[in-house]
Structure 1
Protein backbone atom coordinates (compact mmCIF):
# COMPACT_ATOMS: atom_id res chain seq x y z
CA UNK A 1 0.00 0.00 0.00
CA UNK A 2 1.38 3.44 -0.95
CA UNK A 3 2.00 6.19 1.59
CA UNK A 4 -0.67 8.37 -0.03
CA UNK A 5 -3.30 5.63 0.10
CA UNK A 6 -2.46 4.62 3.67
CA UNK A 7 -2.57 8.18 5.00
CA UNK A 8 -5.82 9.13 3.30
CA UNK A 9 -7.45 5.83 4.19
CA UNK A 10 -6.54 6.42 7.83
CA UNK A 11 -8.12 9.85 7.61
CA UNK A 12 -11.34 8.63 6.06
CA UNK A 13 -11.66 5.83 8.60
CA UNK A 14 -11.17 8.31 11.41
CA UNK A 15 -13.82 10.62 10.00
CA UNK A 16 -16.26 7.72 10.01
CA UNK A 17 -15.33 6.40 13.44
CA UNK A 18 -14.29 9.37 15.56
CA UNK A 19 -17.36 11.53 15.32
CA UNK A 20 -16.81 13.28 18.65
CA UNK A 21 -13.16 14.27 18.22
CA UNK A 22 -12.55 17.95 17.50
CA UNK A 23 -9.86 20.61 17.34
CA UNK A 24 -9.86 24.18 16.00
CA UNK A 25 -9.57 24.44 12.22
CA UNK A 26 -7.05 26.75 10.56
CA UNK A 27 -8.05 29.40 8.06
CA UNK A 28 -8.07 28.60 4.32
CA UNK A 29 -8.46 30.62 1.13
CA UNK A 30 -12.09 29.50 0.82
CA UNK A 31 -14.41 29.55 3.83
CA UNK A 32 -15.75 26.00 3.82
CA UNK A 33 -18.58 24.87 6.10
CA UNK A 34 -19.64 21.19 6.16
CA UNK A 35 -23.26 20.44 5.26
CA UNK A 36 -25.48 17.64 3.99
CA UNK A 37 -24.92 19.11 0.52
CA UNK A 38 -21.46 17.54 0.63
CA UNK A 39 -23.14 14.19 -0.11
CA UNK A 40 -25.39 15.42 -2.92
CA UNK A 41 -23.15 14.00 -5.67
CA UNK A 42 -22.35 10.64 -4.10
CA UNK A 43 -22.74 8.08 -6.92
CA UNK A 44 -25.14 5.18 -6.85
CA UNK A 45 -23.50 1.89 -5.99
CA UNK A 46 -22.61 -0.28 -8.99
CA UNK A 47 -24.23 -3.66 -9.51
CA UNK A 48 -22.80 -6.29 -7.18
CA UNK A 49 -21.49 -3.77 -4.65
CA UNK A 50 -21.35 -4.79 -0.99
CA UNK A 51 -22.91 -1.68 0.52
CA UNK A 52 -21.40 -1.94 4.00
CA UNK A 53 -17.86 -1.83 2.53
CA UNK A 54 -18.41 1.30 0.47
CA UNK A 55 -17.69 4.91 1.45
CA UNK A 56 -18.47 8.14 -0.34
CA UNK A 57 -15.48 10.49 -0.15
CA UNK A 58 -15.94 14.25 -0.43
CA UNK A 59 -12.89 16.48 -0.98
CA UNK A 60 -13.05 20.25 -1.26
CA UNK A 61 -9.95 22.12 -2.40
CA UNK A 62 -9.83 25.42 -0.54
CA UNK A 63 -6.48 26.78 -1.72
CA UNK A 64 -3.22 26.02 -3.46
CA UNK A 65 -1.76 26.42 -6.95
CA UNK A 66 -1.75 24.48 -10.19
CA UNK A 67 0.78 24.85 -13.01
CA UNK A 68 -0.17 23.64 -16.48
CA UNK A 69 2.58 24.26 -19.01
CA UNK A 70 3.21 28.01 -18.96
CA UNK A 71 0.14 28.83 -16.89
CA UNK A 72 0.34 29.04 -13.10
CA UNK A 73 -3.04 29.44 -11.44
CA UNK A 74 -3.78 30.21 -7.80
CA UNK A 75 -6.80 28.20 -6.66
CA UNK A 76 -9.11 30.98 -5.54
CA UNK A 77 -12.44 29.16 -5.89
CA UNK A 78 -13.49 25.82 -4.38
CA UNK A 79 -12.92 22.61 -6.33
CA UNK A 80 -15.24 19.85 -5.11
CA UNK A 81 -14.49 16.19 -5.83
CA UNK A 82 -16.85 13.34 -4.95
CA UNK A 83 -15.85 9.70 -5.47
CA UNK A 84 -16.60 6.35 -3.86
CA UNK A 85 -14.96 2.98 -3.39
CA UNK A 86 -15.73 -0.41 -1.90
CA UNK A 87 -15.84 -4.16 -2.43
CA UNK A 88 -17.82 -6.20 -4.95
CA UNK A 89 -19.72 -9.31 -3.94
CA UNK A 90 -17.81 -11.39 -6.48
CA UNK A 91 -14.48 -10.23 -5.11
CA UNK A 92 -12.26 -7.30 -5.92
CA UNK A 93 -12.53 -3.56 -5.38
CA UNK A 94 -14.23 -0.94 -7.51
CA UNK A 95 -14.47 2.84 -7.58
CA UNK A 96 -17.32 5.07 -8.73
CA UNK A 97 -17.23 8.64 -9.99
CA UNK A 98 -19.55 11.23 -8.46
CA UNK A 99 -18.52 14.68 -9.68
CA UNK A 100 -15.83 17.29 -10.08
CA UNK A 101 -17.16 20.83 -9.75
CA UNK A 102 -14.83 23.84 -9.91
CA UNK A 103 -15.55 27.52 -9.50
CA UNK A 104 -14.61 29.90 -12.33
CA UNK A 105 -11.13 31.46 -11.95
CA UNK A 106 -9.33 34.21 -13.87
CA UNK A 107 -6.12 33.21 -15.69
CA UNK A 108 -3.10 35.43 -14.94
CA UNK A 109 -2.06 37.23 -18.12
CA UNK A 110 -5.28 36.43 -19.94
CA UNK A 111 -5.53 35.41 -23.57
CA UNK A 112 -2.23 36.90 -24.76
CA UNK A 113 0.03 36.83 -21.68
CA UNK A 114 1.08 39.64 -19.37
CA UNK A 115 3.11 41.75 -21.86
CA UNK A 116 0.05 42.08 -24.12
CA UNK A 117 -2.67 41.91 -21.48
CA UNK A 118 -5.58 44.33 -21.90
CA UNK A 119 -7.90 44.28 -18.86
CA UNK A 120 -11.37 42.90 -19.63
CA UNK A 121 -10.65 42.57 -23.37
CA UNK A 122 -8.16 39.70 -23.03
CA UNK A 123 -9.41 38.28 -19.71
CA UNK A 124 -9.73 34.48 -19.77
CA UNK A 125 -11.39 32.32 -17.13
CA UNK A 126 -11.05 28.59 -16.49
CA UNK A 127 -13.53 26.11 -15.05
CA UNK A 128 -12.58 22.59 -13.95
CA UNK A 129 -14.95 19.75 -14.81
CA UNK A 130 -14.90 15.99 -14.38
CA UNK A 131 -14.56 13.43 -17.16
CA UNK A 132 -16.03 10.48 -15.29
CA UNK A 133 -12.72 8.67 -14.91
CA UNK A 134 -11.69 7.28 -11.54
CA UNK A 135 -9.79 4.08 -10.73
CA UNK A 136 -9.90 1.88 -7.65
CA UNK A 137 -6.84 2.07 -5.41
CA UNK A 138 -5.76 -0.14 -2.50
CA UNK A 139 -8.25 1.58 -0.19
CA UNK A 140 -9.00 4.92 -1.87
CA UNK A 141 -9.87 5.96 -5.45
CA UNK A 142 -7.00 7.16 -7.65
CA UNK A 143 -6.48 8.71 -11.08
CA UNK A 144 -9.34 11.21 -11.17
CA UNK A 145 -9.79 12.56 -14.70
CA UNK A 146 -10.47 16.26 -15.24
CA UNK A 147 -10.82 18.66 -18.13
CA UNK A 148 -10.48 22.44 -18.04
CA UNK A 149 -12.81 24.71 -19.98
CA UNK A 150 -11.25 27.99 -21.14
CA UNK A 151 -13.75 30.83 -21.26
CA UNK A 152 -13.49 33.88 -23.57
CA UNK A 153 -15.85 35.07 -26.35
CA UNK A 154 -13.23 34.28 -29.03
CA UNK A 155 -12.81 30.73 -27.76
CA UNK A 156 -16.42 29.58 -28.07
CA UNK A 157 -18.20 27.22 -25.70
CA UNK A 158 -16.21 24.03 -26.35
CA UNK A 159 -12.62 25.12 -25.72
CA UNK A 160 -11.07 22.54 -23.40
CA UNK A 161 -7.68 21.45 -22.16
CA UNK A 162 -8.15 17.72 -21.78
CA UNK A 163 -11.37 15.88 -22.50
CA UNK A 164 -13.43 12.80 -21.73
CA UNK A 165 -11.26 10.66 -24.02
CA UNK A 166 -7.95 12.36 -23.12
CA UNK A 167 -8.24 13.71 -19.57
CA UNK A 168 -5.74 15.34 -17.28
CA UNK A 169 -5.31 12.52 -14.74
CA UNK A 170 -4.65 13.63 -11.16
CA UNK A 171 -3.34 11.34 -8.43
CA UNK A 172 -2.03 13.67 -5.70
CA UNK A 173 0.18 12.41 -2.90
CA UNK A 174 -1.12 13.41 0.53
CA UNK A 175 1.72 15.19 2.35
CA UNK A 176 -0.07 16.03 5.61
CA UNK A 177 -3.31 14.97 7.28
CA UNK A 178 -4.81 16.30 10.50
CA UNK A 179 -8.18 15.75 12.15
CA UNK A 180 -9.94 19.00 12.93
CA UNK A 181 -13.47 20.32 13.42
CA UNK A 182 -15.54 22.91 11.58
CA UNK A 183 -18.89 23.95 13.05
CA UNK A 184 -18.61 20.94 15.38
CA UNK A 185 -18.27 18.51 12.46
CA UNK A 186 -15.12 16.33 12.30
CA UNK A 187 -13.22 17.02 9.08
CA UNK A 188 -9.76 16.14 7.89
CA UNK A 189 -7.49 18.94 6.78
CA UNK A 190 -4.91 17.76 4.27
CA UNK A 191 -2.27 19.02 1.88
CA UNK A 192 -1.47 17.15 -1.30
CA UNK A 193 0.92 17.45 -4.22
CA UNK A 194 1.07 16.01 -7.74
CA UNK A 195 3.97 16.48 -10.18
CA UNK A 196 3.34 13.43 -12.36
CA UNK A 197 0.38 14.40 -14.54
CA UNK A 198 0.65 15.31 -18.21
CA UNK A 199 -1.45 18.01 -19.89
CA UNK A 200 -2.73 17.43 -23.46
CA UNK A 201 -3.33 20.06 -26.14
CA UNK A 202 -6.37 22.31 -26.10
CA UNK A 203 -9.13 21.47 -28.55
CA UNK A 204 -12.46 22.84 -29.76
CA UNK A 205 -11.40 26.49 -29.45
CA UNK A 206 -12.96 29.20 -31.62
CA UNK A 207 -14.65 29.07 -35.03
CA UNK A 208 -11.41 28.18 -36.77
CA UNK A 209 -10.44 25.32 -34.47
CA UNK A 210 -7.04 24.68 -36.01
CA UNK A 211 -5.85 28.29 -35.88
CA UNK A 212 -7.27 29.17 -32.47
CA UNK A 213 -6.24 25.84 -30.93
CA UNK A 214 -2.68 26.50 -32.09
CA UNK A 215 -2.72 29.99 -30.57
CA UNK A 216 -4.07 28.70 -27.25
CA UNK A 217 -1.49 25.89 -27.14
CA UNK A 218 1.36 28.31 -27.85
CA UNK A 219 0.12 30.66 -25.13
CA UNK A 220 -0.28 27.84 -22.59
CA UNK A 221 2.77 25.78 -23.56
CA UNK A 222 0.77 22.68 -24.42
CA UNK A 223 1.03 19.75 -24.64
CA UNK A 224 3.10 19.55 -21.46
CA UNK A 225 4.58 16.18 -20.42
CA UNK A 226 4.68 14.57 -17.00
CA UNK A 227 7.22 16.26 -14.75
CA UNK A 228 6.62 19.71 -16.26
CA UNK A 229 3.37 20.39 -14.40
CA UNK A 230 2.46 20.53 -10.74
CA UNK A 231 -0.45 20.94 -8.37
CA UNK A 232 -0.42 21.81 -4.67
CA UNK A 233 -3.75 21.44 -2.91
CA UNK A 234 -5.19 22.42 0.46
CA UNK A 235 -8.06 20.06 1.17
CA UNK A 236 -10.83 19.36 3.60
CA UNK A 237 -11.92 15.71 3.44
CA UNK A 238 -15.03 13.92 4.70
CA UNK A 239 -16.17 10.31 4.39
CA UNK A 240 -19.57 8.69 4.80
CA UNK A 241 -20.48 5.00 4.78
CA UNK A 242 -23.11 3.89 2.28
CA UNK A 243 -24.95 2.30 5.18
CA UNK A 244 -25.88 5.93 5.95
CA UNK A 245 -26.80 6.58 2.29
CA UNK A 246 -29.44 3.88 1.73
CA UNK A 247 -31.11 5.72 -1.15
CA UNK A 248 -28.02 5.23 -3.31
CA UNK A 249 -27.90 1.44 -3.14
CA UNK A 250 -28.15 -0.21 -6.55
Structure 2
Protein backbone atom coordinates (compact mmCIF):
# COMPACT_ATOMS: atom_id res chain seq x y z
CA UNK A 1 0.00 0.00 0.00
CA UNK A 2 2.84 2.44 0.71
CA UNK A 3 3.88 2.76 -2.98
CA UNK A 4 0.25 3.49 -3.84
CA UNK A 5 -0.01 6.10 -1.10
CA UNK A 6 3.20 7.76 -2.28
CA UNK A 7 1.94 7.75 -5.84
CA UNK A 8 -1.30 9.38 -4.75
CA UNK A 9 0.59 12.09 -2.90
CA UNK A 10 2.86 12.67 -5.89
CA UNK A 11 -0.21 13.09 -8.08
CA UNK A 12 -1.53 15.61 -5.54
CA UNK A 13 1.76 17.49 -5.72
CA UNK A 14 1.59 17.50 -9.50
CA UNK A 15 -1.95 18.82 -9.30
CA UNK A 16 -0.67 21.77 -7.28
CA UNK A 17 1.64 22.65 -10.15
CA UNK A 18 -1.15 22.93 -12.72
CA UNK A 19 -2.61 26.21 -11.41
CA UNK A 20 0.94 27.50 -10.95
CA UNK A 21 1.66 27.02 -14.64
CA UNK A 22 -1.60 28.76 -15.48
CA UNK A 23 -0.87 31.67 -13.16
CA UNK A 24 2.64 32.07 -14.53
CA UNK A 25 1.55 31.81 -18.13
CA UNK A 26 -0.74 29.29 -19.77
CA UNK A 27 2.07 28.13 -22.04
CA UNK A 28 5.43 28.45 -20.23
CA UNK A 29 8.19 29.29 -22.68
CA UNK A 30 10.50 26.53 -23.78
CA UNK A 31 14.10 27.19 -24.68
CA UNK A 32 15.44 25.88 -27.98
CA UNK A 33 15.96 22.09 -27.98
CA UNK A 34 19.31 21.21 -26.50
CA UNK A 35 19.66 24.56 -24.71
CA UNK A 36 20.71 24.53 -21.07
CA UNK A 37 20.23 27.28 -18.51
CA UNK A 38 22.92 30.03 -18.62
CA UNK A 39 24.23 29.23 -15.12
CA UNK A 40 26.36 26.52 -13.56
CA UNK A 41 24.77 23.99 -11.19
CA UNK A 42 26.91 22.28 -8.58
CA UNK A 43 25.56 19.19 -6.82
CA UNK A 44 28.64 18.94 -4.61
CA UNK A 45 26.71 19.91 -1.46
CA UNK A 46 24.11 17.16 -1.91
CA UNK A 47 24.36 14.86 1.13
CA UNK A 48 24.96 11.20 0.39
CA UNK A 49 22.59 10.25 3.20
CA UNK A 50 18.81 10.42 3.58
CA UNK A 51 16.53 10.37 6.62
CA UNK A 52 16.28 6.95 8.27
CA UNK A 53 13.74 4.84 6.41
CA UNK A 54 13.62 7.08 3.32
CA UNK A 55 13.15 5.44 -0.08
CA UNK A 56 15.81 6.85 -2.50
CA UNK A 57 13.33 6.46 -5.36
CA UNK A 58 11.20 9.17 -3.74
CA UNK A 59 13.99 11.64 -2.89
CA UNK A 60 15.88 14.25 -4.89
CA UNK A 61 18.54 16.89 -4.45
CA UNK A 62 17.77 20.30 -5.96
CA UNK A 63 19.96 23.32 -6.67
CA UNK A 64 18.60 26.84 -7.04
CA UNK A 65 20.81 29.53 -8.54
CA UNK A 66 19.89 33.20 -8.31
CA UNK A 67 21.73 34.27 -11.43
CA UNK A 68 20.75 37.92 -11.72
CA UNK A 69 18.41 40.66 -10.60
CA UNK A 70 18.50 43.37 -7.95
CA UNK A 71 17.87 43.81 -4.26
CA UNK A 72 16.82 47.19 -2.85
CA UNK A 73 17.29 47.67 0.88
CA UNK A 74 16.02 51.09 1.88
CA UNK A 75 17.89 53.54 -0.31
CA UNK A 76 20.65 51.11 -1.32
CA UNK A 77 20.18 49.07 -4.52
CA UNK A 78 22.52 46.18 -5.33
CA UNK A 79 22.77 44.30 -8.61
CA UNK A 80 23.18 40.53 -8.25
CA UNK A 81 26.57 40.29 -9.96
CA UNK A 82 27.59 36.95 -8.42
CA UNK A 83 25.41 33.82 -8.33
CA UNK A 84 23.75 32.80 -5.08
CA UNK A 85 23.31 29.03 -4.84
CA UNK A 86 20.92 27.10 -2.58
CA UNK A 87 20.94 23.30 -2.20
CA UNK A 88 18.06 21.32 -0.70
CA UNK A 89 16.73 17.80 -0.40
CA UNK A 90 13.15 16.98 -1.30
CA UNK A 91 11.17 13.83 -0.72
CA UNK A 92 8.60 12.02 1.39
CA UNK A 93 8.91 12.01 5.17
CA UNK A 94 9.45 8.35 6.20
CA UNK A 95 7.30 8.86 9.30
CA UNK A 96 4.31 10.69 7.79
CA UNK A 97 4.67 10.05 4.03
CA UNK A 98 4.11 13.79 3.52
CA UNK A 99 6.31 15.69 1.02
CA UNK A 100 9.01 17.80 2.67
CA UNK A 101 12.02 19.95 1.78
CA UNK A 102 15.22 19.98 3.84
CA UNK A 103 17.58 22.95 3.49
CA UNK A 104 21.21 21.92 2.95
CA UNK A 105 23.34 24.97 2.14
CA UNK A 106 23.50 28.48 0.74
CA UNK A 107 26.64 29.72 -1.00
CA UNK A 108 27.39 33.22 -2.24
CA UNK A 109 30.33 35.44 -3.13
CA UNK A 110 30.98 39.05 -2.16
CA UNK A 111 29.53 41.67 -4.52
CA UNK A 112 30.93 45.17 -4.92
CA UNK A 113 28.63 48.07 -4.12
CA UNK A 114 29.30 50.53 -6.98
CA UNK A 115 29.03 53.76 -4.96
CA UNK A 116 30.90 52.49 -1.94
CA UNK A 117 30.33 53.15 1.74
CA UNK A 118 29.20 56.75 1.24
CA UNK A 119 26.86 56.23 -1.69
CA UNK A 120 28.68 58.88 -3.71
CA UNK A 121 29.37 57.98 -7.36
CA UNK A 122 33.05 57.42 -8.05
CA UNK A 123 34.09 56.95 -4.41
CA UNK A 124 33.77 53.16 -4.24
CA UNK A 125 37.34 52.60 -5.44
CA UNK A 126 38.93 55.03 -2.97
CA UNK A 127 40.90 53.69 0.04
CA UNK A 128 38.67 52.77 3.02
CA UNK A 129 35.53 53.79 1.12
CA UNK A 130 34.96 50.58 -0.80
CA UNK A 131 32.04 48.40 0.23
CA UNK A 132 31.09 44.80 -0.52
CA UNK A 133 28.04 42.80 0.46
CA UNK A 134 27.44 39.09 0.90
CA UNK A 135 24.23 37.20 1.65
CA UNK A 136 24.11 34.88 4.67
CA UNK A 137 21.43 32.30 5.39
CA UNK A 138 19.48 32.60 8.65
CA UNK A 139 16.66 30.08 8.31
CA UNK A 140 13.06 29.24 7.34
CA UNK A 141 13.72 28.27 3.72
CA UNK A 142 10.84 26.59 1.92
CA UNK A 143 9.28 26.16 -1.50
CA UNK A 144 5.51 26.18 -1.88
CA UNK A 145 2.61 27.10 -4.14
CA UNK A 146 0.49 30.14 -3.23
CA UNK A 147 -3.30 30.15 -3.02
CA UNK A 148 -3.20 31.98 -6.36
CA UNK A 149 -1.26 29.09 -7.90
CA UNK A 150 2.16 30.77 -8.11
CA UNK A 151 5.44 29.05 -7.42
CA UNK A 152 6.90 30.72 -4.31
CA UNK A 153 9.78 30.60 -1.88
CA UNK A 154 10.48 31.94 1.60
CA UNK A 155 13.89 32.56 3.12
CA UNK A 156 15.36 34.53 6.03
CA UNK A 157 18.76 36.10 5.43
CA UNK A 158 21.11 38.82 6.58
CA UNK A 159 23.49 40.90 4.50
CA UNK A 160 27.11 41.13 5.57
CA UNK A 161 28.82 44.47 4.89
CA UNK A 162 32.54 44.26 4.21
CA UNK A 163 34.64 47.38 4.72
CA UNK A 164 37.96 47.82 6.52
CA UNK A 165 36.41 50.28 9.00
CA UNK A 166 33.31 48.27 9.85
CA UNK A 167 34.94 45.20 11.34
CA UNK A 168 33.98 41.58 10.67
CA UNK A 169 30.53 41.53 12.27
CA UNK A 170 28.62 44.27 10.43
CA UNK A 171 25.26 43.12 9.03
CA UNK A 172 21.98 44.40 7.73
CA UNK A 173 19.54 42.12 9.48
CA UNK A 174 20.45 39.64 12.20
CA UNK A 175 19.65 36.11 13.32
CA UNK A 176 16.92 37.47 15.61
CA UNK A 177 15.64 40.11 13.17
CA UNK A 178 16.47 38.88 9.65
CA UNK A 179 15.47 40.17 6.24
CA UNK A 180 12.52 37.83 5.61
CA UNK A 181 11.68 37.32 1.93
CA UNK A 182 8.50 35.78 0.55
CA UNK A 183 9.19 35.52 -3.16
CA UNK A 184 6.50 34.76 -5.72
CA UNK A 185 6.96 33.82 -9.36
CA UNK A 186 6.28 36.61 -11.84
CA UNK A 187 3.37 36.08 -14.21
CA UNK A 188 4.47 34.68 -17.57
CA UNK A 189 8.13 34.35 -16.59
CA UNK A 190 8.50 30.55 -16.43
CA UNK A 191 10.90 29.09 -18.98
CA UNK A 192 11.92 25.45 -19.33
CA UNK A 193 15.45 24.55 -20.38
CA UNK A 194 16.75 21.05 -21.02
CA UNK A 195 18.34 20.96 -17.59
CA UNK A 196 16.37 23.46 -15.49
CA UNK A 197 13.34 25.66 -14.97
CA UNK A 198 13.77 29.44 -14.87
CA UNK A 199 11.52 32.15 -13.51
CA UNK A 200 11.58 35.67 -12.14
CA UNK A 201 10.76 35.84 -8.43
CA UNK A 202 9.84 39.05 -6.64
CA UNK A 203 8.96 40.46 -3.22
CA UNK A 204 8.14 44.08 -2.38
CA UNK A 205 6.51 43.49 1.01
CA UNK A 206 9.43 42.86 3.36
CA UNK A 207 10.88 45.30 5.87
CA UNK A 208 14.57 45.85 6.62
CA UNK A 209 15.86 46.43 10.17
CA UNK A 210 18.72 48.67 11.21
CA UNK A 211 22.28 47.42 10.99
CA UNK A 212 23.96 45.45 13.78
CA UNK A 213 27.56 44.87 14.79
CA UNK A 214 28.94 47.85 12.85
CA UNK A 215 30.48 49.56 15.86
CA UNK A 216 30.80 53.32 16.02
CA UNK A 217 29.96 53.62 12.32
CA UNK A 218 26.60 51.91 12.61
CA UNK A 219 24.86 55.25 12.28
CA UNK A 220 26.66 55.85 8.98
CA UNK A 221 25.58 52.46 7.63
CA UNK A 222 21.96 53.18 8.54
CA UNK A 223 22.17 56.67 7.00
CA UNK A 224 23.78 55.29 3.84
CA UNK A 225 21.10 52.62 3.37
CA UNK A 226 18.12 54.50 4.82
CA UNK A 227 17.54 51.97 7.62
CA UNK A 228 15.37 50.82 9.19
CA UNK A 229 13.13 50.65 6.12
CA UNK A 230 9.44 49.80 6.30
CA UNK A 231 7.54 47.42 4.05
CA UNK A 232 6.88 48.95 0.64
CA UNK A 233 10.24 50.72 0.44
CA UNK A 234 12.25 47.60 -0.37
CA UNK A 235 12.30 45.04 -3.16
CA UNK A 236 13.91 41.79 -4.24
CA UNK A 237 13.79 40.89 -7.94
CA UNK A 238 15.66 37.71 -8.78
CA UNK A 239 16.21 35.65 -11.92
CA UNK A 240 16.05 32.16 -10.49
CA UNK A 241 17.06 28.83 -12.03
CA UNK A 242 16.20 25.46 -10.48
CA UNK A 243 17.38 22.00 -11.38
CA UNK A 244 17.07 18.67 -9.63
CA UNK A 245 18.33 15.10 -9.76
CA UNK A 246 16.91 12.00 -8.15
CA UNK A 247 19.00 10.30 -5.49
CA UNK A 248 19.23 7.12 -7.54
CA UNK A 249 20.80 9.20 -10.32
CA UNK A 250 23.18 11.10 -8.05
CA UNK A 251 24.24 8.07 -6.03
CA UNK A 252 23.81 4.85 -8.09
CA UNK A 253 24.72 2.73 -5.06
CA UNK A 254 21.40 3.78 -3.51
CA UNK A 255 19.48 1.88 -6.20
CA UNK A 256 19.88 -1.25 -4.11
CA UNK A 257 17.93 0.48 -1.31
CA UNK A 258 14.90 1.33 -3.46
CA UNK A 259 11.66 0.09 -1.89
CA UNK A 260 9.14 1.27 -4.49
CA UNK A 261 8.53 -1.55 -6.92
CA UNK A 262 8.69 -0.64 -10.59
CA UNK A 263 9.98 2.88 -9.93
CA UNK A 264 11.47 4.73 -12.89
CA UNK A 265 13.64 7.83 -13.12
CA UNK A 266 11.31 10.85 -12.72
CA UNK A 267 11.24 13.69 -15.23
CA UNK A 268 12.48 17.15 -14.28
CA UNK A 269 8.93 18.51 -14.54
CA UNK A 270 7.75 15.95 -11.98
CA UNK A 271 10.66 16.69 -9.65
CA UNK A 272 9.96 20.44 -9.76
CA UNK A 273 6.26 19.91 -9.14
CA UNK A 274 6.90 17.76 -6.06
CA UNK A 275 9.36 20.34 -4.66
CA UNK A 276 6.79 23.12 -4.79
CA UNK A 277 4.15 20.80 -3.40
CA UNK A 278 6.09 20.28 -0.18
CA UNK A 279 4.52 21.55 3.02
CA UNK A 280 7.67 22.84 4.69
Q: Distance in 2 between matches of 1:61 and 1:80?
A: 6
Q: More deviation in 187-196 or 39-48?
A: 39-48
Is contact 2:45-2:105 (8 Å) kept? yes
Matched, 1:129 2:136: yes
TM-score by length of 2: 0.67
Q: Distance in 2 between matches of 1:3 and 1:213?
A: 45
Question: Deviations for 1:85-110, whole angstroms, at most 9, x for unmatched residues?
Answer: 33213324433112222221111321
Deviation of 1:5 after TM superposition, in Å, equals 9.0
Q: Distance in 2 between matches of 1:240 and 1:204?
A: 40
Is contact 2:191-2:199 (8 Å) kept? yes
Deviation of 1:141 after TM superposition, in Å, equals 7.9
1:35-54 matches, within 5 Å, as 38-43=42-47, 45-46=50-51, 49=54, 51-54=56-59
Q: Secondary structure at the match of 2:46?
A: coil
Deviation of 1:3 after TM superposition, in Å, equals 7.8
Which entry has the higher C-alpha Rg, 1 or 2? 2
**CA shift in 2, pair 1:174/1:83, >3 Å:** same
1:200 aligns with one of 209, 223, 232: 209
Matched, 1:107 2:120: no
Question: Deviations for 1:18-47, whole angstroms, at most 9, x for unmatched residues?
Answer: xxx934358xxxx6234xxx2122355445
Q: Distance in 2 between matches of 1:113 and 1:129?
A: 22
1:57 aligns with one of 49, 59, 62: 62
Alignment-derived partner of residue 200 in structure 2: 191
User: Which ranges of structure 2 fall in alignment gaps of 5 or more residues?
Assistant: 1-14, 25-31, 258-280
Deviation of 1:225 after TM superposition, in Å, equals 2.3
User: Which ranges of structure 1 fall in alignment gaps of 5 or more residues?
Assistant: 11-20
Kindly report the root-mean-square deviation, in angstroms, between the aligned alpha carbons of the 2 structures: 3.3
Matched, 1:239 2:248: no
Q: Distance in 2 between matches of 1:100 and 1:106?
A: 19
Is contact 2:75-2:226 (8 Å) kept? yes
Matched, 1:71 2:80: no
**CA shift in 2, pair 1:138/1:85, >3 Å:** farther
Q: Distance in 2 between matches of 1:204 and 1:112?
A: 18
Question: Deviations for 1:6-65, whole angstroms, at most 9, x for unmatched residues?
Answer: 34xx9xxxxxxxxxx934358xxxx6234xxx2122355445655443332211122111
Is contact 2:202-2:235 (8 Å) kept? yes
**CA shift in 2, pair 1:5/1:50, >3 Å:** farther
Is contact 1:95-1:141 (8 Å) kept? no
Q: Secondary structure at the match of 2:67?
A: strand
Q: Distance in 2 between matches of 1:75 and 1:64?
A: 5
Alignment-derived partner of residue 29 in structure 2: none
Q: Secondary structure at the match of 1:24?
A: coil
